[in-house]
Structure 1
């Protein structure tokens, strides 16, 4: 009788704590969503939540990029092993769309002195396109000023392997300030995917980069230039604010003079998709941690089409149900994943083998 009573007591206690934990988790989820909605201007608070070991993973979100952003996020969460990403937006409709997806959304409009259009139909190379591209260093700089290391990744990227590990390891191995992709072997980084340490050299690099973003005819202080995009500006300040290195010794040599504050930049191999769309299996190639789909300049529909042709589109055609539900993104709730429904496609081999990258 006593044994039965004790068993009942323990069962009741266990049930109480189970229900309490479930209630606490529910409250946490609700409070988290409320916190996100009420603190979209609070970059220190949002960055603190998003940070993983002092590193903030971030990107720029625009309302016309909903589906490609979800495809990016799926690859980054499931294969890139990143569970918290800070999405920056620059106008209200994009902010609301970002929040509707359950992302951590920073209203970065306060970093601007002008309004921007973020429609996906913005023509490549147009004045508005160039302005939108210059928002990237604005966000990176704001995070560096808060002393966070930054992993920036464009939305037209698909991750195959651990993102933070892949991009930060060379910075540790070679003691480089910045890690990025060699832009077609041109000797400068593609600005679409970069890891930056928070230090005086990278902060000076961003200061110089942003000054390039305010040059051009008719540009007043604080307004973004219309004639060049951020990639051009980054290239133009090579040697003045940064230079490339390929070993610990060469990285040390570049930043040896503390008075000049030149950032050392280590470049990993080309990660852009093939212009001929040859159908290479990037996932199984040990040179690739991700694929940056910039092999078309015809906008989001063309990039989406290219991702599908390469077997790198993971969303079911009905994207209306996409939602990452705040703090529980790793559950990837409420939408179907196309590649799990079609196992016959040989390109659908993600996640990639966990072999070490040849360049780390």
Structure 2
């Protein structure tokens, strides 16, 4: 300002320094420390350091929840078919199996959540875009129906209410068996997320094989035919969908073949094939049917435990996240 004496040391009175010309030499920092400015990041240095946070779910709570939920949903469909065709003993086995499966499945889920109130909190809203929210509402509706159907079958009372509950649980059963496949696919874990097309079919087939296996073990002579058909169709669907998923995923499918998860899944495949062959060849031998049913139940459980450990292995190794991203960027350019 005019009339104001200059005070030595003030910034506006100091001579402006000229900017140094930018150096043409390359940044001396290592490539992996240049960040966005350098645009030259050696992604191989990330290997061995997790990029994603591994799922915080625990075993056996969540694998048991996945296995028993699929068993329950498919058993309700089998129970409705058995009741419609007059196979009362098979219907009783399937209804009690469905209720026991969904009760234990919910117990595992609530135990993993830590507090029962956390499950109830998920019912405060309806969010169709969230598989967890949709699954919570499915379980809340399916559980009472399966319980009413089983109670009516065991006691012989309220047959009309029992028939209505059987029909309702059969309508919701396929969704209960399939939604957990959509649930694990709706995550950032590469081996789960990239298999979103086939994963629900794997879960439905696995649940159907388990329900059929339960029927083969407990159904009396002359009533096991629907259980055998369901077991064979379910195991075939599971194997076909799983094989297709592995081929399509490419490198991301490595956790499905190696390590702890690979051992679970290979065991499940062997038991599934053995159970199918036993169900087809042991029509007139009860011992063979029971052994094949046990093999199919164990196969379904091994598949769910294997898929659970696949998620942890896929999240802990960043190459399954970084390499596919680089390939997609290369295809775009």
TM-score (norm 1): 0.25
TM-score (norm 2): 0.26
Q: Which has the higher strand share?
A: 1
Q: Which has the higher helix share?
A: 2
Q: Which has the larger radius of gyration?
A: 2
Q: Point out which structure has higher relative CO (alpha carbons under 8 A, 6+ apart).
A: 2
